Chains A and B, each alone.
Chain A
Amino acid sequence: GENVEQHPSTLSVQEGDSAVIKCTYSDSASNYFPWYKQELGKRPQLIIDIRSNVGEKKDQRIAVTLNKTAKHFSLHITETQPEDSAVYFCAASDENTGNQFYFGTGTSLTVIP
């Protein structure tokens, strides 16, 4: 089965700096990679996703890059703000076989004002 690893587990950045979270996956059949943001006690919220037919996707201050050959994908947050502080989860799935998500272990991001 799929195995998703996520690093780092904790990350602290100064407000305005960039934050990068990296994930690797093991199953080459995975073709869909969403990122979720979860605030304490709240539901995970989809913030961006990417499919295997593209290498990069951007939405304002958030971007995701995908390297299929190396089987890794990364979340980039620029100009970080205190409200970006949360736990971020990456996931990988194969849309052709039921879309079960395999989640990474999470990254706790703290943006220091």
Chain B
Amino acid sequence: GAVVSQHPSRVICKSGTSVKIECRSLDFQATTMFWYRQFPKKSLMLMATSNEGSKATYEQGVEKDKFLINHASLTLSTLTVTSAHPEDSSFYICSARGGASGTTDTQYFGPGTRLTVL
């Protein structure tokens, strides 16, 4: 149980375009999802916390108009990188809080999305 999927796994786009990344909890309902960015050989940097049915809470320094987050259901959150630039190239990982069998306190991670902006 507690499986999180993420799509796409890899995406290459041109500078100025927008990219949408989906994060789904497959076998549990996730009231809270988190979006992280990870640079090579670095730790996970929290970008925003997404609660179902409400606006996301962004970390300091993260532009909410650039990184649009929507958490429309208990199993789906999306991150849209708008007007992407090469510096947005990174590994984006989502996680979902919750789980089956009453395991509600930990985070389960998606497989990540490698974004490359040309």
Listed in ascending order, the chain A residues whose CB lies under 8 Å from chain B are 32, 34, 36, 41-46, 49, 87, 89, 95, 98-101, 103-106, 108
Contact = CB atoms under 8 A, between A and B. Distances in A.
B8 interface: no
Interface of B: 4, 32, 34, 41-44, 46, 49, 93, 97, 105-112
Contacts, number: 48
A34 B110 CA distance: 16
A44 B111 CA distance: 8
A99 B109 contact: no
B105 A99 contact: yes
Contact of A103 (B32, B43, B112): B43
27 contacts: A32-B106, A34-B106, A41-B112, A42-B111, A43-B4, A44-B93, A44-B109, A45-B109, A46-B106, A46-B107, A46-B108, A87-B41, A89-B43, A89-B44, A98-B32, A98-B49, A99-B32, A99-B97, A100-B34, A100-B46, A100-B49, A101-B46, A103-B44, A103-B46, A105-B43, A106-B41, A108-B41
